[in-house]
């Protein structure tokens, strides 16, 4: 008798569980169907930086099929239905004025090698058409974004070289000012503004990015820079991994007036999953992330929304979105909240494909223009690690700079001896 009662209890629990699963299943089933028709395009993933930190880019020592110390590996990518990924070629601000270009080139290299090592999973891509080609072959289109203007060392030639290596967006700043743009920390008051947004050279760079067909990424910049770029760019812009400031008033997020301008100019804001930008606290859940999607849709429409998880670049992720495999749950949540199939497909990838296509069209319309070869003024980048070759009138300035550096070092040594 007791065994029959226990069996009955187990049966009731199983039926209850099945009923709950069936009740939830339509949203997930619908989500997976939409993701099979439209590529999930994520704007920012820092797996290449983890390869640097954990393995010094020795990719031969890593198996992405079994790697468990990252948010991203091949099984998680497949479970998460990741159709296309902008891999971040990121190096820290500490490399500015030192070896930022070399280190960035090495990050670009490791992304290329990752695609070469796992051709059954990744297909390198540089255009909207190539994204769809990879998706139709059931591979993850792999694009490159350089995160931080310090990576080009204030050089339009370096920018062009990185474009030729496959880089398709540049985040104008990271968490430091460059010699031509202010970063988001200026808006917190923790750093001074050096350029009131963009310097004249910074504006040159925006025009050259338009000519090249490189996406301008406004994650990490000040609100002033956001407006300046929106005023002057001929092509739509992206925020590769930023959320809504109204929902979480963190200076890395996007204010409502900027969201509306992104809509007016045809750009995209790709929502970041980092807890600190989701709830302005150390904890968050999947529903909190969906709140950002809802708010952006309410303020500026579903046509400007995308996914920019920031996986492997952050230390805290929402409950339910712990790694790249979980993203279909967020898609299902949007459907549960009443998003239409077209709205979800727009956010998944159609918005980004539209932006890329428009950026490519703007570049084609400017192909009669010559590359901008006017360098940044030497006095704006002068430092002990930089030579003045090519600047005809910089020799005396460079000599004075070296003399000033020697005098400073001598004074420091003298103070040390007398202390």
d(CA 396, CA 398): 5
Q: Tell me the C-alpha to C-alpha distance, in Å, between residue 378 and each of 389, 390, 391, 393.
A: 10, 10, 7, 9
Q: Beta-strand (E) ranges in 263-406?
A: 268-271, 305-307
Q: Which positions are catalytic?
A: 44, 46, 147, 174, 220, 241, 310
d(CA 279, CA 416): 48
Contacts with 121 (C-beta within 8 Å, 6 or more apart), sequence order: 64, 74, 77, 78, 139, 140
Helix H or strand E segment including 146:
strand 140-147
Contacts with 104 (C-beta within 8 Å, 6 or more apart), sequence order: 89, 91, 146, 151, 152, 162
On the CB side of 262, CA atoms within 13 Å amount to: 35
Report the Cα–Cα distance between both ends of the chain, in Å, rounded: 90
With vertex at residue 50, the alpha carbon angle to CA 45 and CA 56, rounded to the nearest 5 degrees, is 140
d(CA 292, CA 275): 12
Question: Taking the CB of residue 254, how many other CB atoms lie within 10 A of it?
Answer: 27
């Amino acid at each position: 008798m007791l065994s029959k009662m226990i069996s009955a209890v187990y049966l009731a629990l199983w039926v209850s569980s099945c009923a709950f699963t069936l009740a939830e299943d339509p949203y997930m089933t619908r989500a997976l169907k939409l993701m099979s028709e439209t590529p999930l395009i994520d704007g920012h993933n820092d797996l290449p930086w983890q390869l640097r930190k954990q393995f010094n880019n020795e990719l031969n020592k890593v198996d992405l099929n079994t790697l468990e110390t990252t948010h991203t590996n091949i099984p998680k990518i497949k479970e998460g239905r990741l159709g296309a990924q902008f891999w971040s070629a990121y190096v820290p601000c500490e490399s500015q004025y030192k070896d930022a270009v070399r280190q960035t080139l090495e990050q670009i290299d490791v992304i290329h090698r990752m695609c070469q090592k796992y051709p059954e999973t990744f297909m390198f891509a540089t255009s909207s058409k190539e994204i769809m080609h990879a998706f139709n072959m059931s591979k993850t289109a792999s694009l490159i974004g350089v995160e931080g203007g310090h990576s080009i060392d204030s050089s339009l030639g370096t920018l062009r070289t990185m474009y030729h290596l496959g880089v398709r967006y540049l985040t104008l700043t990271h968490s430091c000012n460059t010699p031509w743009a202010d970063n988001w920390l200026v808006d917190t008051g923790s750093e001074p503004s050096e350029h009131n947004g963009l310097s004249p050279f910074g504006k040159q760079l925006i025009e050259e990015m338009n000519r090249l067909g490189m996406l301008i990424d406004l994650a990490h910049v000040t609100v002033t820079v956001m407006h300046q770029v929106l005023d002057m760019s001929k092509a739509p812009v992206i925020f590769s991994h930023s959320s809504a400031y109204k929902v979480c008033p963190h200076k890395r997020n996007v204010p409502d007036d900027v969201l509306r301008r992104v809509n007016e100019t045809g750009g995209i804001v790709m929502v970041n999953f980092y807890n600190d930008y989701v709830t302005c606290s150390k904890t968050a859940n999947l529903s909190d992330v969906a709140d950002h999607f809802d708010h952006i849709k309410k303020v500026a429409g579903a046509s400007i929304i995308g996914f920019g998880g920031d996986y492997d670049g952050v230390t805290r992720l929402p409950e339910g979105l712990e790694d790249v495999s979980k993203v279909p749950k967020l898609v299902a949540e949007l459907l549960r909240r009443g998003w239409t199939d077209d709205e979800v497909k727009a956010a998944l990838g159609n918005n980004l494909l539209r932006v890329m296509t428009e950026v490519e069209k703007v570049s084609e319309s400017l192909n009669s223009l010559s590359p901008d070869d006017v360098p940044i003024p030497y006095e704006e980048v002068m430092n002990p690690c930089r030579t003045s070759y090519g600047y005809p009138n910089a020799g005396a300035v460079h000599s004075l700079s070296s003399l000033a550096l020697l005098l400073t070092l001598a004074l420091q040594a003298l103070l040390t001896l007398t202390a």
